[in-house]
Copies of this chain bind each other. A is one copy, B any other.
Amino acid sequence: MKNTLEFVSQTGRALLTLREMLLKGEFAPGERLSELALVARLNVSRTPIRLALDRLAHEGLLTGAPSGGFIVCEFTLADIWDSIEMRGVLEGTAARLAAERLTDPSELLQLREYQRQMDAIPNNTMDDFARYMDLNESFHIELISLAKSSMLDRSLKHLTSLPFANPSAMVFARSKLPRAVELMTIGKEQHHAILEALANHQGTRAEAVAREHAALSRRNLESVFVGDSKILSCVPGASLIRLETVV
Listed in ascending order, the chain A residues whose CB lies under 8 Å from chain B are 1-4, 47, 50-51, 54-55, 57-58, 60, 63-64, 66, 78-79, 82-83, 85-86, 89-90, 93, 97, 149-152, 154-155, 158-159, 162, 165
Contacts and interface: CB of A to CB of B under 8 A. Distances in A.
Nearest to A11: B54
Nearest to A164: B151
A138 to B, nearest CB: 23
As for how many copies of this chain the complex holds, the number is 2
Nearest to A157: B158
Given A66-B4, A93-B86, A93-B89, A154 B60 contact: yes
A152 to B, nearest CB: 6
Given A79-B151, A82-B151, A63 B158 contact: no
B150 A79 contact: yes
Contacts of A1: 57-58, 63-64
A131 to B, nearest CB: 30
Contacts of A82: 149-152
A137 to B, nearest CB: 21
B152 A57 contact: no
A162 B158 CA distance: 14
A22 B152 CA distance: 23
Given A86-B149, A86-B155, A151-B159, 4 more contacts: A1-B57, A82-B151, A85-B149, A151-B162
Pairs of residues from A and B, 10 with the lowest C-beta to C-beta distance, nearest first: A2-B64, A82-B151, A82-B149, A58-B58, A158-B158, A89-B93, A83-B151, A86-B151, A4-B66, A155-B155
A60 B152 CA distance: 13
Contacts of A64: 1-4
A31 to B, nearest CB: 17
A54 B57 contact: no
Contacts of A47: 47
A51 B97 CA distance: 35
A167 to B, nearest CB: 15
Contacts of A89: 89-90, 93
Contacts of A93: 85-86, 89
